[in-house]
Homo-oligomer: A and B are copies of this chain.
Amino acid sequence: MSLPHAILTALLEKPSSGLELTRRFDRSIGYFWSATHQQIYRELGKLEKAGLIRALPADSPTRGQRKEYEVLPSGRAELERWVEGRDEPRDPRDPLLLRLRATGVVGVGDGLISELRRHRELHAARLAEYREFQQRDAARGHGTERDRVHGLVLQGGIDLELFWVNWLDKAIDGLDRPEPAEQACGPTT
């Protein structure tokens, strides 16, 4: 039940068309809640039918025509209600942890190790990207509440990527050398 609210948030930040939303989901919001354009179009349709958003009057109402949406008061109310509610934490559901665990019974192979390395690099890249955002935001100053909230969310993204990079390093190291002995040699990379 999060996608519609993610869309309401995005539309409140700036009225947009379906494809625009899709692009914005690829950036900021999508970093912790991705969505395909099909999901977004479908959800826009539902939200419009539910009277939470409306399409801005356009020239022609035909298909393949750009259609911009804005949030109606009832949509904002619904978002406020949802934000103030309660909701249990979800479990991580990351297949990589499962795959690592499976090596406990089928044995560790090279494929998984290189996969761990690959993921490490992907997370490191994303971490670098987030840190650029952070620096850019810090330069522009952050007076408004919205800026501070975005800063906290971004910090969450950074900390999460940090977790991944650090843990993957531990895991790669732990699988590479079977014995946790006191070999003081440097890393193989």
Which 9 pairs show the lowest CB-CB distances between chains A and B? Answer: A84-B111, A104-B149, A104-B146, A12-B105, A163-B163, A9-B102, A2-B95, A32-B97, A32-B92
Chain A 151-171, CB-CB to B under 8 Å as 1, else 0, gives 111011001101110110011
The winner among A90, A101, A146, A148 for most chain B CB atoms within 10 A is: A101
A151's nearest neighbour on chain B, judged by CB, is B174
CB distance from A175 to the nearest CB of B (A): 7
Are A145 and B178 CB-contacts (below 8 A) given A91-B33, A150-B104, A163-B160? yes
| Copies of this chain present | 2
CB distance from A3 to the nearest CB of B (A): 9
Residues in A lying within 8 Å of B, measured CB to CB: 1-2, 5-6, 8-9, 12-13, 29-34, 76, 79-80, 82-112, 115, 118-119, 122-123, 145-146, 148-153, 155-156, 159-160, 162-164, 166-167, 170-171, 174-175, 178, 180
